């Protein structure tokens, strides 16, 4: 048996308004909650029991997954009474683990889409006898990340904060948000207070001489913490650029879930997903976008790289470019919403309220 902890307590503030009513890990990605992809990959790698470390809207996780039996897992739930940081959340969840002190435990961040070989990661950890093994990925521009240099044997040398100058960029390797802990190491994390694994736990292990290893892997990796990344990750799953055993349809240009209605004269491209109860009308073009349950895209609308929230409506002739529409919002006809705009839940925009060009009636005159 292999156990795991999955950290799903964050509020997902960078994704607002999408996370107003839905925790970030339960947002639909390629048609199913993102957490479903993570759970399915964990089960595929031999994880049999998993603790969900919850906080924000904690009750929605158990409502979605119950005991986990439908995914072939045993799921249990640990809720943080107060925010405890990454390390504190791991320690709080560890009270529900059943494995022995020398057993490996996976720890996953709840917002990372990755193609890393989890079985190989666990085996490398066990073979080395490491205290902790971190999945590391290489990025072209590491300035936005903490750096994790390793030696020729994969031993972690340091944990460096985000570099401020070119001279501080000592490696392109960053922490990819997936770890294997030896259980006894988790037990050493202080109980009942906020702890950061990045700033306290991992540097403390290095100072003590413990073996902390990096597992460098070049497979697909994406942090889904922003709307742009969230849309991209969903589209990449639909198009098969990264695999998931939980994908609810064959890879291709689009996935249309049962119960959705797409007019034969509508066009879906670029890894679009249309969720159950949603409607896409004639002449609409939806490219690389997420249409959430019961949303409606009216005729001749153009939707690109965007998210249309549950029960939201996009009017005829309206254009969305890299835009987020919150749940139950209504966008009237002939609006033009440009990249980066976010419309809050429940907002109603009248026809032609927001445009980047002259209104059609003006052009006609």
Report the run of H or E that residue 1 belongs to, with start and end. none
Instruction: Kindly calculate the radius of gyration of the chain based on its CA atoms and give it in whole angstroms.
Output: 22
Q: What's the DSSP call for residue 166?
A: G
| Beta-bridge partner residues of 254 | 272
Tokens matching residue 103: 């057993």
Cα distances (Å, whole numbers) of residue 82 to 4, 10, 16, 194:
22, 12, 22, 9
Q: Report yes or no: 150 and 157 within 8 Å, Cβ to Cβ.
A: yes
Residue ranges in the chain assigned as alpha helix (H): 34-44, 59-65, 85-94, 118-128, 183-187, 202-208, 227-239, 360-364
The single residue of 24, 160, 162, 166 carrying the catalytic annotation is 162
Cα distances (Å, whole numbers) of residue 203 to 184, 191, 198, 199:
17, 18, 7, 6
162 is catalytic: yes
Which residues does the annotation mark as catalytic?
A: 162
């Amino acid at each position: 048996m292999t156990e795991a902890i999955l950290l799903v307590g964050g509020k997902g503030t960078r994704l607002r308004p999408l996370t107003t009513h839905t925790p970030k890990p339960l947002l639909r990605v390629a048609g199913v909650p993102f957490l479903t992809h993570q759970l399915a990959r964990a089960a595929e790698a031999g994880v049999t029991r998993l603790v969900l470390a919850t906080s924000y809207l904690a009750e929605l996780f158990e409502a979605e997954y119950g005991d986990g039996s439908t995914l072939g897992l045993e799921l249990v739930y640990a809720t943080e009474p107060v925010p405890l940081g990454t390390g504190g959340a791991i320690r709080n969840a560890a009270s529900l683990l059943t494995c022995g002190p020398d057993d490996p435990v996976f720890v996953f961040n709840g917002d990372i889409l990755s193609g890393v070989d989890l079985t190989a990661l666990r085996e490398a950890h066990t073979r080395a006898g490491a205290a902790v093994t971190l999945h590391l990925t290489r990025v072209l521009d590491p300035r936005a990340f903490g750096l994790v240099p390793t030696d020729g044997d994969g031993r972690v040398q340091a944990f460096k904060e985000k570099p401020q100058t070119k001279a501080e960029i000592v490696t392109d390797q960053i922490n990819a948000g997936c770890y294997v802990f030896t259980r006894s190491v988790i037990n050493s994390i202080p109980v009942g207070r906020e702890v950061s694994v990045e700033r306290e736990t991992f540097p403390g292990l290095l100072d003590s001489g413990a073996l902390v290893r990096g597992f460098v892997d070049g497979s697909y990796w994406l942090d889904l913490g922003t709307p742009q990344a969230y849309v991209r990750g969903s589209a990449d799953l639909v198009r098969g650029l990264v695999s998931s055993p939980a994908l609810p349809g064959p890879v291709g240009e689009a996935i249309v879930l049962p119960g959705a209605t797409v007019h034969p004269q509508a066009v879906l491209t670029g890894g679009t997903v249309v969720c159950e109860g949603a409607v896409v009308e004639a002449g609409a073009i939806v490219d690389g976008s997420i249409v959430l349950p019961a949303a409606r895209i009216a005729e001749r609308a153009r939707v690109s790289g965007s998210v249309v929230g549950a029960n939201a409506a996009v009017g005829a002739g309206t254009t969305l470019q890299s835009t987020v529409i919150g749940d139950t919002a209504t966008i009237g006809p002939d609006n033009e919403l440009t990249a980066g705009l976010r419309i809050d839940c429940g907002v109603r925009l009248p026809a032609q309220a927001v445009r980047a060009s002259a209104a059609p009636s003006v052009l006609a005159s």
